[in-house]
Amino acid sequence: MMTLSRSLTLIFLVFLLVFVSVNSAAAFCGFYVAKADSNLYNQASQVIIARDGKRTVLTMANDYQGEVNDFALVVPVPVILTEEQVKIGEPEILERLDAFSAPRLVEYFDEDPCDRPYLEDEVMRVPVAPQAASEMRSGRENALGITVEEEFTVGEYDIVILSAKESNGLEVWLRENGYKIPNGASEILRPYIQQELKFFVAKVNLTEYENTGFKSLRPLMMAYESPKFMLPIRLGMLNAQGEQDLIVYLLSPKGQIELTNYRTVKVPSDVEVPEFIQQEFAPFYKAMFTKIYEQNNKKVAFIEYAWNMASCDPCSAQPLNREELKKAGVFWLNNGRNRRSNNVFITRLHVRYQRNNFPEDLKFQETSNNQFFQGRYVIRHPFREKRDCDAAESYYQSVKERQDKEAITLSRLTGWNIYEIRKKIDYVEFQDVPWWREIF
């Protein structure tokens, strides 16, 4: 039996998109070391939303694990989608966006304190960031209040666009047609039916899947228009085991895209952490994220990155080029308005959710906010050679104070034991240099 090691997160994931001047940055000049990408999480759904005005391109890729013939995807949509409005996306584009926007660790190296007049505040300073049938069958569908509006195959997916009159009939139709959906789906489907939405329903065509040669299901993309801008997450919670992570890459020609119905918080950023975090960045970021998530009562979304796609500083990956942006759903680059590729602003939202803390679907709005922000964490390597100039003594003292401050900061961010942290820090300790080493 064919299995998936990693591909689309929820057995039954519903995404509703109900047709849903650049500030200069101070140069950071640090060296990129590591990043906190989606691979940190066991189950992390990823979505790309490219939005301009009423037009939207949605790309969905999730971490589904199981038999491919058990996979089912139901997406409430406001209009009847045709085959030409649906295509297969490229997994590499999600990987590129993830790498480009991931929270990052950078490192700096202190200069020889005797090479120039030493200013203590320079050591302590951290650069500040600017801020997807037969007649019998037809009779059964009528009895259930179901209308098959469109039916087609795209890549490895068999896709049906449905209209439904009542949620129980839709749930029965899905089960009778081999879609393994969780119990209680009809209750969550009801509000979407009341809004007269259509349903984009997909399952795997096993023959086509074998022909693709891929070991995992590829992302699905769809394009549509509507003044409303939403992403539902409620139905995806029905079969969820515990909390889920959702990372949304929002692309706009205007600026940041923001949530309107949940509070948004920026992850802690521009903080100095001990040197050993270079080897422990992944557990550090996971612990820090969990703590701020809990401190905010598990009811907020987090901004991990907001930047113009034309640049990055420091870069954890190169910005996407024009062709890659088109593959990500950016459709306004060739629309006759002479927009350049740097008119693509990316907002990375990280939502950790479960049924009791995110009762509403996500609602977004475009803004003209072009402030830059990134989750950025700094390690500073002290100058460790002994020097005897006048500036050296104050430098060594400031490094000891800095290292202790880094330990306190790390404990506060993660909840880790301060004494265990201090054991891992390579404190700067200097003995007087014997006089004969100057010549021997």
Question: Can you give the pLDDT at residue 418?
Answer: 94
Where in 42-125 does DSSP place strands (E)? Answer: 44-52, 55-61, 66-67, 72-77, 86-88, 104-109
How many other C-beta atoms lie within 10 A of the C-beta of residue 148? 15
Q: How many angstroms separate the CA atoms of 270 and 374, rounded?
A: 9
Give the torsion sign (CA, 200, 203, 207, 212).
positive
Q: Are 5 and 214 in contact (CB under 8 A)?
A: no
The string of pLDDT tens digits covering residues 344-393 is 999 999 999 887 888 888 999 999 999 999 999 999 999 888 888 888 88
Question: Can you give the pLDDT at residue 134?
Answer: 47
Question: Can you give the pLDDT at residue 67?
Answer: 77
Domain regions of the chain by residue span: 3-438
The string of pLDDT tens digits covering residues 90-143 is 999 999 999 999 999 999 999 888 875 544 444 444 444 443 344 555 666 677
Q: Is the bond leading into 314 cis (omega within 30 degrees of zero)? A: yes
Q: How far is CA 263 from the centre of its chain?
A: 17
Q: How many angstroms separate the CA atoms of 22 and 310, rounded?
A: 10
Q: For Cα atoms 156, 202, 229, give the angle at the middle one, nearest 5 degrees.
A: 120
Whose tokens are 């899905």? That residue is: 174
The segments of the chain whose pLDDT lies below 50 read 1-29, 118-134, 340-341
